[in-house]
Amino acid sequence: MKTIYEGLFSKNPVFGLLLGLVPAVAITYSAYNGLVLGITTGIILVVAVFISSLLKSVVPKGTRPVLHVGVLTILTVIAHSLLLQQNPKVVADLGIFLPLIVVNSFVLYNLDQDQAMKDAVLSAVGNSLGFVLALVVIGVIREFLSFGTVFGTRLLESTLPPLALAGTVPGGMVIVGLLLALYNKITGQGGELHE
């Protein structure tokens, strides 16, 4: 339970550890995109951690990065094919950011941890939930600001034009930066990067 709480809040991958910033900035102009990419990344991570823990004893430490890249590439290509069959529109919306799960720093960080299998899988589940939460929160804020909708549902009827910049990459950087500052204020962190 503590691991899940840490992944969700106190050591949230995006806001606490500054990992996975690329999807957090690039595809969260829509909350649905954030949710789909977050869940896909989480499933790939948990399966990759499980496979990597199984193979850890037979693969020398120096060659583990290559093993991780291989496992992640296979899992991502499978996920891409499955999603393409189920929901081609979301695959088109996510574009290059779906295959980029392989080099997502959040995934690589979790795979690099030297833990027993049970702890590693639990930690991956907690961190994945935190990652999904962060992408959805950022997605809801950006989608509302840029289109006036949340998960495609219009919330406010206004004659004011929406803040289109919030839906672009530069706007995403500013909004994620401000959310990081808010997280730092709430948790009492801040001042330097947490590496």
Partner 1 sequence: MNNGLNILAQGVVTNNIILLQGLGLYALTRYTRDVKTAVKSGVTMICAMLTAALVVWAFQGAVIDSLSVEIGFYLLVGTLSALAWQNILGFDGSLEKGLVDSALVGLLLIMGRDGIAGPTTVGFALSAGLGYLLVLIVMATLRKRLELAPIPKPLRGAPIVLITAGLLAIALMGFRL
Q: Which residues bind partner 1 (CB under 8 A)?
A: 18-19, 21-22, 25-26, 62, 65-66, 68-70, 72-74, 76-77, 80-81, 84, 95-96, 99-100, 102-105, 108-109, 111-112, 165, 168-174, 176-178, 180-182, 184-185, 189-193, 195
CB of 187 to partner 1, least distance (A): 9
Considering beta carbons, is residue 96 or 160 the nearer one to partner 1?
A: 96
Contact of 107 with 48, CB cutoff 8 Å: yes
Backbone dihedral region of 149: left (phi > 0), alpha (psi from -120 to 50 degrees) or beta? beta
CA atoms within 13 A on the CB side of 173: 2
Distance CA 3, CA 8 (A): 9
CB of 94 to partner 1, least distance (A): 11
The residue among 121, 96, 101, 123 whose CA lies nearest residue 17 is 123
Considering beta carbons, is residue 3 or 184 the nearer one to partner 1?
A: 184
Considering beta carbons, is residue 28 or 35 the nearer one to partner 1?
A: 28
